Structure 1
Amino acid sequence: MNNFFLGIHYFLSGFRLIAKPGVRRFVIIPVSLNIVFFIGLFLVLRHFASELNGWIFTHLPGFLRWLSIIFWLLFFISFFLVLIYFFVMMANIISAPFNGLLAEKVEIYLTGQVLVKRSMLETIKDVPRMIGRQLAVLIYSLPRLLLLLILFFIPVIQLVAALLWFIFSAWLMAMTYTDYPSDNHRVSFRQLRDWLRQRRLLALGFGMSVLMVSMIPVLNFFVIPVAVAGATNLWIFQHKRG
């Protein structure tokens, strides 16, 4: 369990790291994109909440209205977990080039070593590859998430499905954010997955922290840069340990 809590520690270290000199200015774009996406998430959630409320009062007889509490609980857990994952993934795909640069600056701050210098043209040429890496995470996750999504439509199993979705989403969050520092070192996506499998509790501790903070208003605006910085910290020091 020590590794699980160490994963939480690495995520929380991201709050400190994004405020450091040489790092701060690279946080602005990821935070701005995150604000836009979480406002979108709120609007979508509010729309579907209103639709669900209307459905309950239309279809449930009066003496069963108390069941609306259970429906709301299932809705909040299931729908919010599904939406938050896809909104965060979309935000990461769009902000991938900026997140890669942020990971690089955090690594320079932590190690004092400058990565191989690249010209602006080389950096621009790298953008499709950076976005492609995040798409690879999405392609890896979609078949597994669709399988879990089916479980949400099976009575009773819904709550178990929500738990499984949360655990798998945590795993994907760890994979998503450690991808930035590992990609800066040209580590393949397959190698990264194998590396994380050897550190499952560490990855789950980190990923669950990302998901939990994503549910906290205002703090969730900073979750992407914080997670990138924390994942870079995790990658550097765990990779050194071998």
Structure 2
Amino acid sequence: MRDLAVGLGYLGKGQRWVARHGRWWGFGLLPALITLVLYTAVLVVFAFWADDLSAWATPFADGWGSPWRQILRDLFTALLFGGGLLLAVVTFTAATLLVGEPFYEALAEQVEKSEGGAPPAPRLPLWRELWNSARDSLFVLVRVAGLGLLLFVLGFVPMLGQTVVPVLGFCVSGFFLTLELTAVAMQRRGVPVRERLALLRGRRMLALGFGVPLVLLFLVPLAAVFAMPGAVAGATLLVRDLLPVEGPAEPEQSEAAGAAESSGEPGTPDPYGHLPQLPRT
């Protein structure tokens, strides 16, 4: 149970880190804003067609009398839309990390440097990093979809579907959300996705303590956008717990760098300098 509190603590530490480094918080907002616009459009279309999908999926109820036909279809619509929201919560992070790969790599690197003993970045071209992220996200998405389908079916079981299944849904979402957010720092250490999954299974309560509160926070409109930079920072700090960095830390230098960054003094690292530069015309 101690790991639950530790995981929650890393979530708070990540938000405090970006609060102290305002430029990096704004830098990390950009991918989440882009993804939010895309997801909002998809969810609006999904909500508009939800009733039609429910009627199409339950043709056997066409001959039922009122109010049972409408009750069944309303329940199916609620479960369908709830499943869509659950999938959106989990895949939002994956999509945001994919869109913001160079952004969050730079943010995670800065967090590592501020803590001392940052591991060297992998020397891979941008297209290879994006491909690895997409492949790993698909690996996670397949497992989330399978568990989500199972929970969707169990949602029809009386009592169980209204009590246990929602709790399990939040736990599944929180665990895989932690898996997605720790991917940036794990990839930096060369840990493949299957080993990441095994590591978090070994510290399941730590993953749930970090991920479940974040899932609940992401249910608040726009909270996912503003919390994403801090979530990436917190996940990076969590990875340092799972896989401590060998080598001496330099806290004095990192604190001085952080003070210079927040005051805007010369020599402040430019977060945009980590992105690929377009050729000038």
TM range (shorter): 0.7 to 0.9
CA distance in 2 between partners of 1:26 and 1:208 (Å): 25
Once the two structures are TM-superposed, the CA of residue 239 in structure 1 deviates from its matched residue by: 2.6
Instruction: Output aligned runs, 1:148-167, within 5 Å.
Output: 148-159=151-162, 160-167=164-171
Which amino acid in structure 2 is aligned with residue 189 of structure 1?
V
Shift, 1:133, TM fit: 2.1
Paired amino acid for 2:90:
Y
Q: Quick check: 2:91–2:141 contact (8 Å CA) kept in 1?
A: no
- Contact in 2 for aligned 1:18/1:27 (Cα 8 Å): no
Q: 2:95 aligns with which of 90, 97, 102?
A: 90
TM-score w.r.t. the length of structure 2 is 0.67
8 Å contact 2:11–2:235 — kept in the other structure?
Answer: yes
Structure 1 residue 214, shift from structure 2 partner = 0.4
CA 1:158–1:93: 2 relative to 1, 3 Å: farther
Per the TM alignment, residue 17 of structure 1 is displaced from its structure 2 partner at its CA by 2.0
- The runs of 5 or more residues in structure 1 that have no matched partner are none
Q: Aligned equivalents of 2:197 and 2:105: distance in 1?
A: 18
For the aligned residue pairs, the C-alpha RMSD in angstroms reads 3.7
How much does 1:151 deviate? Answer: 2.1
Higher Cα radius of gyration: 2
Structure 1 position 208 matched with structure 2 position 250: no
C-alpha contact (below 8 Å) 2:105/2:184 kept by paired residues: yes
Residue correspondence of structure 1 range 110-189 to structure 2 within 5 A: 110-111=115-116, 113-116=117-120, 122-159=125-162, 160-189=164-193
Separation in 2, partners of 1:44, 1:8: 35
Closer/same/farther in 2, CA of residues 109 and 50 from structure 1, 3 Å limit: farther
Q: Within 2, Cα distance between the matches of 1:165 and 1:117?
A: 35
- Contact 1:10-1:206 within 8 A present in 2 as well: yes
More displaced 10-residue stretch of structure 1: 90-99 or 40-49: 40-49
Identical-residue share of aligned pairs (%): 27
Task: Give the structure 2 partner of residue 30 of structure 1.
Answer: 31
Structure 2 contact 29–225 (Cα < 8 Å) conserved: no
Q: How many residues align?
A: 238
Which one is further off, 99-108 or 209-218?
Answer: 99-108
Cα distance change on mapping 1:99 and 1:139 into 2, 3 Å: farther
More helix by share: 1
Distance 1:216 1:79, change over 3 A: same
Instruction: Name the CA distance, whole Å, in 1 between partners of 2:222 and 2:99.
Output: 21
Secondary structure, aligned partner of 1:27 = helix
Supply the AA of the counterpart residue of 1:23. W
Counterpart in the other structure of 1:8:
8
Partner of 1:102: 107
- Does structure 1 retain, via aligned residues, the 8 Å contact 2:148–2:169? yes
Closer, same or farther in 2 for the Cα pair 1:125/1:9, shift >3 Å? same
Q: Determine the C-alpha separation between the residues in 1 that align with 2:94 and 2:157.
A: 26
TM-score, normalization: structure 1? 0.76
